[in-house]
């Protein structure tokens, strides 16, 4: 595969941008090689600046549930941009998008738009602290909720990929307010709550973890958190930045029938534009400024382009059969991968939930960060590179998810399954 243009651009980028990238995982550090510079995308495909073509399962790390450059999203953006790009004043589309969110995720009775997932989670936590008058929060090891100080503790995604789940620059005093529990270990959460009785404002969780690879919640885990929160006056926050409109139309809360007090969204909700949102119970969200005193603001919040792309995306995914098709394709590919791994006798742990999927080269079933860390990440790197030269673009990290889009065709899936088998043959 010829990558001379990407190589040259990366060399330039490294002189101006830390590590040559504006977000760490995309640097390919943990899988070897150098990042590809992307020229364009259409449907399920990506093309790099050297003209190499790929079937893309990163999908901009989740937002592109419709695939790249979906015509209806582009048309909405083209129409909107004619009227101006930002006003810092209310626009009608903010109400429209809030209405869509409320209809598809009914627990979000009130919604505040922000510009990224990180903003959404840090704002939701401030609201939880302001509402309860408590300071501590519980998060799960390996869950990633953006890069706010107190959330960057044993965090997944790039932090784990690059071997730094706790970042320098996070004051110990901030991190001390974040209590850590193991994902899928309800007993540990119970104990933690008991030993910090009356002090915990919120439990924040990725209802399907997607930043330590893909880890599904075990039976009763989310329900157990809900009950515990109700008993102790703790707010339950579902970070659905990744799972929202991804694992089902109403997110993980619809799929697992558990209603959180607050939800954070990002990714799909902006159809590829930078956006986030948080929302939930009316009595809680009514405390947000200027309705209440809990302050949070943003110049680009409710940005017209982001609202337009979000609304256009939700309109398409609301059509009959959309999720059935997406889930069927994801399950098919996951089964093909599982069969190939089993046939080859490779120890593995594989999961798909809705349109998210992932697998580990692991000897035991992965159900937490602690078990995820035991996987063979170096072997994943080899696998990643073999897939890439066969035209398949998977996440450049063993601790991220793969995403199916509506644009992936049967031929794409068959090509991917074949590349998967060939890649296993090469690396094992």
Active-site pick, 239, 261, 367, 412: 239
Which of 3, 25, 204, 340 is in the footprint of ligand HOZ by CB under 6 A?
Answer: 25
Name the segment binding ligand HOZ (CB under 6 A); options: 23-31, 257-265, 296-304, 371-379: 23-31
Upstream peptide bond of 260 is cis (omega within 30 degrees of 0): no
Strands 136-140 and 178-181: parallel
C-alpha distances (whole Å) from 358 to each of 13, 58, 183 are 30, 11, 17
Q: Taking Cα atoms as reference points, which of 71, 84, 362 lies closest to residue 213?
A: 362
Convert residues 136-165 into a mask of x (bound to ligand HOZ by CB under 6 A) and - (unbound): ---------------------xx-------
Stretch that binds ligand HOZ, among 20-28, 29-37, 66-74, 247-255 (CB under 6 A): 20-28
Element (DSSP H or E) covering residue 326: helix 322-343
Query: What is the CB neighbour count within 10 angstroms for residue 94?
Result: 18
CB of 400 vs ligand HOZ, minimal distance in Å: 5
**Contact predicate 254/248, CB 8 Å:** yes
The nearest distance, CB 55 to ligand HOZ, in angstroms, is: 19
Question: Total residues at the site for ligand HOZ (CB under 6 A)?
Answer: 8
> Could you tell me which stretch among 19-27, 48-56, 339-347, 374-382 binds ligand HOZ (CB under 6 A)?
19-27
- Contacts with ligand HOZ in 190-229 (CB under 6 A)? 211
Is the CB of 157 or the CB of 178 nearer to ligand HOZ?
Answer: 157
C-alpha to C-alpha distance for 60 and 42, rounded to whole angstroms: 12
Among this protein's residues, is 230 annotated catalytic? no
Listing DSSP states for 400-423 in one string gives S-EE--TT--HHHHHHHHHHHHHH
Is 139 a catalytic site residue?
A: no
344 is catalytic: no
Residue 59 CA: distances (Å) to CA of 77, 135, 355: 19, 36, 11
Q: Closer to ligand HOZ by CB, 26 or 334: give it.
A: 26
> Can you read off the two tokens belonging to residue 186?
């309800």
User: Taking CB under 6 A as the rule, does residue 26 contact ligand HOZ?
Assistant: yes
Residue in the shown chain whose Cβ atom is closest to ligand HOZ: 23
HSE-CB of 382 using CA atoms within 13 angstroms: 11
β partners of residue 209: 215
Residue 158 Cβ vs ligand HOZ, minimum distance, rounded to whole Å: 5
Nearer to ligand HOZ, 107 or 161 (CB): 161
* Least spacing, CB of residue 157 vs ligand HOZ, in Å: 4
Q: How far is the CB of 397 from ligand HOZ (least distance, A)?
A: 8
Contact 154, 141 (CB under 8 A): yes
| 310 prior amide bond cis, ω within 30 | no
Give the per-residue contact string, 309-348, with ligand HOZ (x = CB under 6 A; - = no). ----------------------------------------
Nearer to ligand HOZ, 241 or 284 (CB): 241
Judged by CB under 6 A, which stretch of 12-20, 21-29, 246-254, 277-285 contacts ligand HOZ?
21-29
CB atoms within 10 A of CB 392: 22
Cα 271 to chain centroid distance, Å, stands at: 13
DSSP state of 296: -
User: 144, 150, 278, 360: which one is catalytic?
Assistant: 144
Smallest distance, ligand HOZ to C-beta of residue 405, A: 16
Contacting ligand HOZ (CB under 6 A), which of 23, 86, 286, 425?
23
Catalytic residue among 136, 139, 154, 267: 267
Q: Which is nearer to ligand HOZ, 159 or 189 (CB)?
A: 159
CA atoms of 127 and 112, how far apart (whole Å): 11
Give least dist CB 234 to ligand HOZ, A: 26
Stretch that binds ligand HOZ, among 22-30, 69-77, 95-103, 385-393 (CB under 6 A): 22-30
Closest among 251, 172, 153 to 206, alpha carbons compared: 251
Cα–Cα nearest to 55, from 245, 329, 340:
329
12 Ramachandran zone, left/alpha/beta (phi>0; psi -120 to 50): alpha
Number of Cβ within 10 Å of residue 390's Cβ equals 18
* Site mask for ligand HOZ (CB under 6 A), range 30-69, x = bound: -------------------------------x--------
Q: How far is the CB of 60 from ligand HOZ (least distance, A)?
A: 8
Q: In the chain, what is the straight-line distance between the N-terminal and C-terminal CA atoms, in Å?
A: 22
Q: Which residues bind ligand HOZ (CB under 6 A)?
A: 23, 25-26, 61, 157-158, 211, 400
> Catalytic residues, which ones?
144, 239, 267
């Amino acid at each position: 595969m010829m990558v001379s243009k990407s190589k040259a651009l990366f060399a330039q980028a490294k002189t101006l941008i830390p590590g040559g990238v504006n977000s760490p995982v995309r640097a390919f550090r943990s899988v070897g090689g150098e990042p590809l510079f992307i020229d364009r995308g259409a449907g399920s495909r990506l093309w790099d600046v050297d003209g190499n073509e790929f079937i893309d399962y990163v999908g901009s790390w989740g937002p592109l549930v419709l695939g790249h450059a979906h015509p209806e999203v582009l048309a909405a953006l083209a129409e909107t941009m004619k009227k101006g790009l930002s006003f810092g004043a209310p626009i009608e589309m903010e109400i429209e998008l809030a209405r869509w969110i409320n209809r598809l995720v009914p627990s979000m009775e009130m919604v505040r738009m922000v510009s990224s997932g990180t903003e959404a989670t840090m704002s939701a936590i401030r609201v939880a602290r302001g509402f309860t008058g408590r300071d501590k929060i519980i998060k799960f090891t390996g869950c990633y909720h953006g890069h706010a100080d107190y959330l960057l503790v044993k965090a997944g995604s790039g932090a784990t990929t690059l071997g730094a789940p706790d970042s320098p620059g996070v004051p110990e005093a901030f991190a001390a307010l974040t209590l850590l529990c193991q994902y899928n270990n309800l007993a540990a959460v119970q104990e933690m709550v008991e030993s910090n009785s009356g002090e915990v404002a919120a439990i924040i969780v990725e209802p399907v973890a997607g930043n330590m690879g893909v880890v599904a919640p075990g039976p009763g885990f989310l329900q157990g958190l809900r009950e515990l929160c109700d008993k102790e006056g703790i707010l339950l926050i579902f970070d659905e930045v990744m799972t929202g409109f991804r694992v089902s139309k109403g997110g993980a809360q619809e799929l697992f029938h558990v209603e959180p007090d607050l939800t954070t969204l990002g990714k799909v909700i902006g159809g590829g534009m930078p956006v986030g949102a948080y929302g939930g119970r009316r009595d809680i969200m009514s405390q947000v400024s200027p309705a209440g005193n809990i302050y949070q603001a943003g110049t680009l919040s409710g940005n017209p382009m982001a609202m337009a792309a979000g609304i256009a995306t939700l309109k398409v995914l609301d059509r009959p059969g959309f999720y059935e098709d997406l889930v069927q394709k994801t399950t098919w590919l996951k089964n093909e991968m599982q069969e190939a791994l089993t046939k080859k006798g490779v120890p593995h742990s594989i999961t798909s939930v809705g349109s998210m999927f992932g697998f580990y080269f692991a000897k035991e079933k992965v159900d937490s960060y602690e078990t995820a860390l035991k996987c063979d990440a170096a072997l994943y790197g080899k696998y990643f590179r073999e897939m890439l030269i066969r035209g398949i673009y998977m996440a450049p990290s063993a601790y991220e998810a793969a995403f199916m889009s509506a644009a992936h065709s049967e031929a794409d899936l068959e090509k991917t399954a074949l590349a998967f088998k060939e890649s296993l043959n090469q690396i094992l």
